[in-house]
Amino acid sequence: MKKIINRIKEKIEIVSLKQRDDLYFINVKEEHIIFLLSYLKEQEGFTHLAFLQAVDYDKYNMFQLTYMLYNYDIKVNFGIKVIIDREKSEMTSIHKLWAHAWQYQRELHELFGINFPGSPRVDESFVLEGWEEIPPMRRDFDTKEYSEKTFYQRPGRSTNDPKEYMKEKLYKNFVEPPKIRREDD
Whole-angstrom Cα distance, residue 71 to residue 41?
A: 9
The CATH number of the domain holding residue 152 is 3.30.460.80
Whole-angstrom Cα distance, residue 9 to residue 67?
A: 18
Domain that residue 84 falls in: 2-169
In-domain check, residue 15 = yes
For 23, half-sphere exposure in the C-beta direction (CA atoms, 13 angstrom radius) is 4
Q: With contact defined as beta carbons under 8 Å apart, do 58 and 89 qualify?
A: no
Domain count, the chain: 1
In-domain check, residue 176 = no
Q: With contact defined as beta carbons under 8 Å apart, do 69 and 48 qualify?
A: yes
In-domain check, residue 160 = yes
Query: Going residue by residue through the chain (185 aa), what tens digit of pLDDT does each one get?
Result: 889 999 999 999 999 999 887 899 999 999 999 999 999 999 999 999 999 999 999 999 999 999 999 999 999 999 999 999 999 999 999 999 999 999 999 999 999 999 999 999 998 988 899 898 999 999 999 998 998 888 877 777 777 788 888 888 777 777 777 777 666 65
In-domain check, residue 174 = no
| pLDDT of the residue at 183 | 65
In-domain check, residue 185 = no
In-domain check, residue 182 = no
| pLDDT of the residue at 66 | 98
Whole-angstrom Cα distance, residue 159 to residue 74?
A: 52
In-domain check, residue 177 = no
Whole-angstrom Cα distance, residue 48 to residue 64?
A: 20
pTM: 0.80
CA-to-CA separations, 51 to 10, 54, 65, 138, 145, in angstroms, rounded: 26, 10, 10, 19, 31
DSSP secondary structure string for all residues of 33-101: HHHHHHHHHHTT---EEEEEEEEEEGGGTEEEEEEEEEETTTTEEEEEEEEEESTT-B----TTTSTTH
In-domain check, residue 179 = no
- Cβ neighbours around 124 below 10 Å, total: 10
